[in-house]
Chains A and B, each alone.
Chain A
């Protein structure tokens, strides 16, 4: 017997698989409901839940070392830095020059930008 991490039960894997399938159906069904800006929020929230299940159970992060977990989290931190800096650029480009919000299109963009 080697000191390997515990081997998960088949039942656990099947339960995660079933949850993932149900969530896929849910996100498809919800996409037909008009929720305005919340459509993308719900879709991404479900995707994050699905991805977390895959990472935690299928990829075995729940059995891995603290160091490996730290690396996984570091990846997400760097991803959010990339997203944050990209958007802090695009969302503030017009702030100093123009009185109107940066986007002329309806919906995302206009409402949350400070009006000058």
Chain B
């Protein structure tokens, strides 16, 4: 077994596209769930609306990339308003049900045959990322640091992604130490108390939903450009659940929690995947226990088990503060 390769792969996964996408999605979710206590189970819908907004504008209507980004951002804002307006006045669980339902509606719509003229159906859309790669300042070649090694396209995507992560973290940090952010945290702790102080709780929750949705939609752009294709099944509810695991792993209501969580999450998955694959090809595991196809299922099981164990034994995650997060909105 080649442990050097296994660790190189894990390190690559720590800064790779999946980490970038899920860190951005989780930063948005952290604003919802960690800071405001909103149960958004439809974060995947924000990614999908952004990715498809971009792809449809550029690939189907042949408009410039910048306009595609604007369409994606507007789509995320509209989606947040649509989801929040009917549900944020109700008990916390209504938002959960409506968001998970909306995420499936969005995925089914993008998947449907009747709209495939615009969306490409279940195959999705490609040919929209030339605009993004044409402004790449890096010349062709290999770029890397130590054991990491990327070509110029990957380096460009990852650089943009990590810059976006940095800016998002800065934004969240500044907002959450402002009076506005303190109101959000107060809403998480006790909505009625905040209301009795004369704050418009509904409006604050809606603003939080929009902010987190817009941060999440950055993840949608990055996944679209990084894969150079958008497919409906990349935005399934599992995406949202992975993002939840990442938020809780890193520590909810912590600025860097989602970023650290995403890096550790994907490094661990890469580690187990590679260990199992190598152990299989070396013949340590027989086909009767685990076929190559089943390694992907082991990953889903591990995520599920990890989410349960974390939530039961360490709900504050690695870096969270248990006192700050008495997770029980009702």
Tell whether A and B belong to one assembly.
Answer: no
